[in-house]
Chain A
Amino acid sequence: KQEVTQIPAALSVPEGENLVLNCSFTDSAIYNLQWFRQDPGKGLTSLLLIQSSQREQTSGRLNASLDKSSGRSTLYIAASQPGDSATYLCAVNQAGTALIFGKGTTLSVSS
């Protein structure tokens, strides 16, 4: 059974720092991996989707990488801003089921 783990559970950084969020999964037979952002009291917003054949995806200050063989993905946030404060979740998509989520990393960026 697929399990998705995100470490750390919470992270606090000062504004301007570059940071990395980690996601690991136990079964490498995936279609893709997605990173989401969730603000308090809100739904999930998709940030990046990496297909299993891809190694990374970039959107603005965000870069997500995927190493399927080792079951790992990272989300890199460059020059963090207070507006980046949110919970970031990763989820894997595989045959026969819906997205399986990690429990998220709650990021706090202080000004």
Chain B
Amino acid sequence: DAGVIQSPRHEVTEMGQEVTLRCKPISGHNSLFWYRQTMMRGLELLIYFNNNVPIDDSGMPEDRFSAKMPNASFSTLKIQPSEPRDSAVYFCASTWGQRNTIYFGEGSWLTVV
């Protein structure tokens, strides 16, 4: 299996622009997670889906952030409008069930200038 695939790997955008990050989980996994990592705050959960349904979105910073999972093989995280404080690495991860190993993608490195 190719693992969790994220795109783009790197994105530099101007403040106010819309950013869309994409994730393809491992085939057969039924849970998908979006995390954000910064030096100051470490890894923070933004949202997670189970069987394509959002279960916990309490970590989504504000209305500028939205996430969708239209099917079992694809998810997006959208920021509109983007701000410099959104600069971070955004990780997607997936797993099967509640108690198994979770697999991470390589991350999307976002810089908002």
User: Which residues of A does B touch, CB under 8 Å?
Assistant: 31-32, 34, 36, 42-46, 49, 51, 89, 91, 93, 95-104
Instruction: Tell me if A43 and B105 are in contact (CB < 8 A).
Output: yes
On whether A93 and B43 interact (CB within 8 A), knowing A43-B91, A43-B107, A98-B33, the answer reads: no
In this assembly, does B101 line the interface, its C-beta being within 8 Å of a C-beta of chain A?
yes
Chain A residues whose CB sits within 8 angstroms of the CB of B102 once the complex forms: 34, 46, 99
| C-alpha gap A46/B93 in the complex (Å) | 11
Listed from nearest, the 8 A-B pairs whose CB atoms lie closest are A103-B42, A43-B104, A101-B43, A44-B104, A98-B48, A43-B106, A46-B101, A31-B99
On whether A34 and B99 interact (CB within 8 A), knowing A89-B43, A103-B42, A104-B42, the answer reads: no
CB distance from B95 to the nearest CB of A (A): 9
Contact of A99 among B33, B42, B105, B106 (CB under 8 A): B33
Q: Nearest B residue to A6 by beta-carbon distance?
A: B42
CB distance from B33 to the nearest CB of A (A): 5
Instruction: Tell me if B56 and A49 are in contact (CB < 8 A).
Output: no
Interface residue tally for chain B (C-beta within 8 Å)? 21
| C-alpha gap A51/B102 in the complex (Å) | 13
Taking chain B's interface residues, is the majority helix, strand, or loop, or is none over half, making it mixed? strand
Query: How many residue pairs at the A-B interface have CB separations less than 8 Å?
Result: 48
CB distance from B25 to the nearest CB of A (A): 13
On whether A49 and B101 interact (CB within 8 A), knowing A43-B107, A98-B33, A99-B33, the answer reads: yes
User: Which residues of B does A touch, CB under 8 Å?
Assistant: 4, 31, 33, 35, 42-43, 45, 48, 56, 91, 93, 98-107
Chain A residues whose CB sits within 8 angstroms of the CB of B35 once the complex forms: 101
Taking chain A's interface residues, is the majority helix, strand, or loop, or is none over half, making it mixed? strand
Chain B residues whose CB sits within 8 angstroms of the CB of A89 once the complex forms: 43
| C-alpha gap A32/B101 in the complex (Å) | 10
Instruction: Tell me if A93 and B98 are in contact (CB < 8 A).
Output: yes
Instruction: Tell me if B42 and A42 are in contact (CB < 8 A).
Output: no
Instruction: Tell me if A51 and B43 are in contact (CB < 8 A).
Output: no
Chain A residues whose CB sits within 8 angstroms of the CB of B107 once the complex forms: 42-43
8 sample A-B contacts, Cβ–Cβ < 8 Å, listed by A number: A32-B99, A42-B107, A44-B91, A46-B101, A46-B103, A93-B98, A103-B42, A103-B43
